Amino acid sequence: MFCQAIILTALFPNNRVLTYNIIIIESGITVMEIISETIHHKYRDHNGNVLLTFFYQSPILKDNTSAVQSINYFLEMQKAEALLQEKSLLADSVEFNKYYRTIPFESQTIIEITYNQNNLISFLKTNFVYAGGAHPNTTRSSYTFSLTTGEQVNLINITKKKPFEIKQAIINIFLEKIKKNPEQFFPEAINTIENTPLSDFHYYINDNGIIIYFNPYEIAPYVAGFVEAKLDLNTY
């Protein structure tokens, strides 16, 4: 089947960019249209020193169904949260740089679609913040929605096996990682994993399967980064 992707970019004031990714099948009918919204701001002091660099990027789904409109509303709330963080960081940077040499603060939030099949759409949000500390703080959040209802779904809703089987599979995968390199994890890592309710695990879907992850400092130090486990979609 012939398939063509067209990318169009529109520029707006205040460093706002909308990129249109339109996928067209052989008949020329648009089967999926996604707008990628980008906001980029840079703030300087009276000497021209950079106080804060802010970057935000997120998809917007183009469809009139109530389910998609509900998902877009959720994405709008994520943008509003990022813009509030921008204001807070700018105020912190101004205050911080009154007493220290000028250190640029930075905020970068990227929301990407990792899966869009079988009436499910999965988003992964990565938030990078540097606010004058020893190192940046990077965290992930993820959200999977039903394209039929527009409701957010958790692991229990999308897996085929019984909840206790899924939970045990997750524990086993992480336990193997911890046993292999125990020095990379906190002593209480196993207890943290075992005591996490199945519905509270961070997860997203991609073409490789269901990715379960922990953010830095949840079960391991910052240097370990994101600790992940993969469940096969066909099996679980």
pLDDT digits (tens, 9 = 90+) for 45-72: 988 999 999 999 999 998 889 999 999 9
Confidence class for position 28, pLDDT limits 50, 70, 90: very low
Task: Name the class of domain 40-146.
Answer: alpha beta
Determine whether domain 159-231 maps to CATH 3.40.50.12780: no
Are the C-beta atoms of 55 and 111 separated by less than 8 Å? Answer: no
What does the pLDDT average to over 20-25? Answer: 41
- Three-state SS for 211? strand
Expressed in angstroms, the distance from the first to the final Cα of the chain is 31
Burial label, 112 (beta-carbon count in 10 A; 0-12, 13-18, 19+): middle
What does the pLDDT average to over 215-229? Answer: 95
Residues 6+ positions from 78 with CB-CB distance below 8 Å: 58, 109, 111, 125
Confidence class for position 17, pLDDT limits 50, 70, 90: low
Tens of pLDDT, residue by residue over 78-134, are 999 999 999 999 999 999 988 877 789 999 999 999 999 989 999 999 999 999 888
Output the pTM of the full model: 0.85
Residues 6+ positions from 74 with CB-CB distance below 8 Å: 143, 145, 152
The reported pLDDT for the residue numbered 133 is 80
Residue-range domain boundaries for the chain: 40-146, 159-231
Asked, colleague to colleague, whether 40-146 and 159-231 share their fold, the answer is no
Helix (H) or strand (E) holding 202: strand 202-206
Please provide the average confidence, as pLDDT, over all residues in the chain. Answer: 87
The reported pLDDT for the residue numbered 108 is 97
- Top-confidence residue, 234 or 205: 205
